[in-house]
Structure 1
Amino acid sequence: MMKKSLFLTALSLAILTGCQNVGSQALQIEKQGSFTVGGSYVTHKGTFKQENFIAPEGQRAYGDFAYVKYQTPTNAKKYPLVFQHGGAQSSRTWESTVDGREGFDTLFLRKGYSTYLVDQPRSGKSNLSTKAITPDTPWASNPMYADKTFWILSRMGHYDSHNQPVANAQFPAGEAAYQAFQQAWTIGSGPLDNDLNADVLTQLVDQTKGAILVTHSMGGTIGWRTALRTDNVKAIVAWEPGGTPFIFPENEMPKITKARFEALSGAAMGVPMNEFLKLTKIPIVLYYGDYIQVGSDNVGEDKWGTELAMAKQFVATINKHGGDATLVHLPEIGIKGNSHFLMGEKNNQQLADLMADWLKQKELDK
């Protein structure tokens, strides 16, 4: 009996220890869900009749809202992270990596931040639009014959003599990762309207009563514009912003560095000084990866060289007017091999820690 008692005690301790180990790794989520924010509708003229119930007469078309998925960990920090994706993308940017590891969504939940993942209007799960596709709607074709285009523009790597994709150092190698990357793109269901996108993102930020924006690529301009519209943006973390205009005072427009294909060059838009100064009231950090060089034979490397040149002027202008902006070019601090989709690459944990350290320095980790 004593041996049996000792055995059961030892077994109970082992089970308890195992549960504690699992618990230390498990995410503790207080609440989660999804909702839409913003949006509008237009009504077709005429009168609705059941006899012709599929006709548009008298019916509404809804659209131009954002879909938001959120998760809140137990004992969450004060300000949530609101993740804004880039062009032809969706909230998948921030979810699992192409090789199945945790993305920024989960990594920052583990760090105690609530996360809000956005599908911007006319994209992803928000693909209802009140306006029809126009000739200038970017990436609207379906099917999209653009896998090599996206690969090169995103600096994921190059192609060998057999026209097979070769990944850069931090992008997971292999056909499965390549396919997962290509299957993350979305088509535009209506004209790109970054003021609309900023208006809707502003509504979300106001709804949270304060948030930290985390943007990527073409989403960069949406972040800048949102900060002009509300005081509830507490900081901006921008991962390789570009592809849409940076914001400058209208009387201090920057020098444009032209890309080999001029349409790919970094761009800027001017706003009144009193508007621009709102960007000087919050901490801002911009991160850029590797393989960036103006004049490179690689179209993507050249294009992002012009964006980096614009970003440096953007940061300098903010700081000139008393702001707190920082640009981090990762190779210069010893982090090499990252592409344009660096948040999903092999060292994404290291990059998440880098961002978390910055948030701590700015006392946004409480």
Structure 2
Amino acid sequence: MSRRAITSAAMPLLLALFAVSAQAAPSPLVISEQGSFAVGGTIHTEPGTFANNAPTAAGQSLHADHLYAFYQVPEKPRRLPVVMLHGAYQSGRSWETTPDGREGFQTIFLRRHFTTYVVDQPRRGRAGNSSVAAAIEPAPNDQLFFDQFRLGAWPEFFGGVQFDRRPETLEQFFRSVTPNTGPYDARVISSAMTALLEKTGPAILFTHSQGGEPGWLTAMASPNVKAVVAFEPGSGFVFPKGEAPPEMPSAAGTLKPVEIAPADFALLTRIPIAIFYGDNIPADPTAERGKDNWRVRLAMARLWVDCVNRHGGDARLIHLPDLGIRGNTHFMMSDLNNLQIADEVSKFLAAKGLDQSEHPQ
């Protein structure tokens, strides 16, 4: 291989390392306000009278199915805050410090003067009280997630992957995994998210992976959602009844569309939507489970964007390799080049007039 070829192949990794170096000593971060709260959810009360000295379930209540939100407000905030909803087996930590210790989207967008709300969805993380029982099994699944989240094909990382390969970074990544404490229910999540949007007012919604479906449901339910930026939605693609594409089989299982009322789907056409997908997603079927899993999801997302636009909406799909941005995993918001990904998001927000200051000069 020639020196030119070696240099060309190494360039994405070198650029990522430069980005890490640039972030090594960030400037002081000024926050005017921060806090946390629970919102949404249910209250279940058992009949009877509570006995203080002989307590049973009788007469007691259970607060459950709410979400947890942590917020930070910068100096001179922009008009619209950003609400960040995580994906499967994750919590709000997805948006926080990256596994290799750099600033994640929570802080990156705070530095860009967006108020941020980072969510733990109902029945997950710091919102663990569930109204429905579920068993939590200590199932070994680290290697599955390494493959499925496209770090590589265990035990090898993909060449040029935008993930720091140090063992301690992989350790942090695996320890970000957290289970459901109750059955996953997209409508329970969207109900709590809608309640959150009533509190925040108009906002931009970021979703990741499994957060895609409750994100679409929230956008349909709440007029306060002014845009959706979805990072690799993995399931729950909603289509108007009668317009859903066929199910898509893959080496990882079959991806099924979700049919909804046409009037509900039409609500998604009132806001701008951007969907981002990363690298190492094949165009053709493959026996490699971790890759084929995302082949059908990217294909379904393309059909979904076409459907939204066919109904008069404003949706676009950004496949990062098409922009020359390579090596991104399923967690592009915490990859080595997450500043570059944030720049692409900022371009979209600026193009749609969603980054205006709260108090313009």
Deviating beyond 6 angstroms after TM superposition, the runs of 4 or more aligned structure 1 residues are none
1:307-326 alignment runs, 5 A limit = 307-326=297-316
Contact kept, 8 Å, 2:308 with 2:314, in 1: the verdict is: yes
Q: Deviation per CA, 1:303-359: give whole Å up to 9, x if none.
A: 110101100000000111111100011111100111111111100010001101110
Residue 73 of structure 1 is matched in structure 2 by 74
Residue 256 of structure 1 is matched in structure 2 by 247
Q: Deviation per CA, 1:184-237: give whole Å up to 9, x if none.
A: 011111111110100110111121110000000000111100111011110000
Residue 342 of structure 1 is matched in structure 2 by 332
Contact kept, 8 Å, 1:315 with 1:327, in 2: the verdict is: yes
Opposite residue 273 of structure 1, the aligned amino acid is: P
Residue 190 of structure 1 is matched in structure 2 by 182
Q: Deviation per CA, 1:247-270: give whole Å up to 9, x if none.
A: 1110211132211242xx332111
Structure 2: how far apart are the matches of 1:256 and 1:130?
A: 32
2:171 is aligned, of 179, 187, 190, to: 179
Q: Deviation per CA, 1:10-31: give whole Å up to 9, x if none.
A: xxxxxxxxxxxxxx92222111
Q: Deviation per CA, 1:25-68: give whole Å up to 9, x if none.
A: 22221110001111212123433223422x32221122100000
Contact kept, 8 Å, 2:90 with 2:178, in 1: the verdict is: yes
Task: Quickly say closer, same or farther: Cα 1:108–1:28, change in 2 above 3 A.
Answer: same
Residue 52 of structure 2 is matched in structure 1 by 50
Opposite residue 164 of structure 2, the aligned amino acid is: P
TM-score (norm 1): 0.87
Residue 64 of structure 1 is matched in structure 2 by 65
Residue 145 of structure 2 is matched in structure 1 by 150
Contact kept, 8 Å, 1:201 with 1:226, in 2: the verdict is: yes
The runs of 5 or more residues in structure 1 that have no matched partner are 1-23, 135-139
Is 1:34 matched with 2:36? yes
1:362 is aligned, of 344, 352, 358, to: 352
Opposite residue 129 of structure 1, the aligned amino acid is: S
State the percentage of identical aligned residues. 41
Larger Rg: 1
TM-score (norm 2): 0.88
2:233 is aligned, of 236, 241, 249, to: 241
| 3-state SS, counterpart of residue 100 of structure 1 | coil
The structural deviation recorded for 1:167 is 5.5
1:288 is aligned, of 252, 255, 277, to: 277
Residue 114 of structure 1 is matched in structure 2 by 115
